[in-house]
Structure 1
């Protein structure tokens, strides 16, 4: 967990001066599922700055960007590390008369949600 804190200090210090309270909250994030909205709320910044922090970390190889395809009911149909690999169709489930039925839907018509994952340990 110490390296995850170091990561946030290195990435966000030049963009948003971190307080110890911010660092503690950021260190509490799941390093495998870092959403821009969580970073925005914890840093108390705009979405644009939070996105810039995450994108900077991704360019430096500290985070890896992923994408989720969201079904109409809000469930995740698919998570991939590369949005270029998204299939043309995904399967979602829909409740019809108390029964769940599988649907095949066009990926391009569904909502996408980006998230980031902590990529590696930081060197000292």
Structure 2
């Protein structure tokens, strides 16, 4: 997952991944594939505390990446509030029910973007 595996370093994500990708897509005037960003989600209650990443860092990471993506017109599918106070089997990954709900919401979100002419 982009973000957690890079210890929420915004500069790494924007400079090494997002900016080159978005620049290439823009320079080729690609209409497809499209990009939608799914920020990191809330940590579950079972997450171990022996990590340097905390919930405030995750929120700040999400805010800064969204701030970077806004001028590029990349929609952000934020599941952080959806995963707040939800039990996770390891503190970072969610089970079938949560993931299924996130996918259904994502599909409806994409349909809404399409109906607004933004997708």
TM-score (norm 1): 0.28
Q: Which has the higher contact order (CA 8 A, sep 6+)?
A: 2
TM-score (norm 2): 0.29
Q: Which is higher, the Rg of structure 1 or of structure 2?
A: 1
| Bigger helix fraction | 2
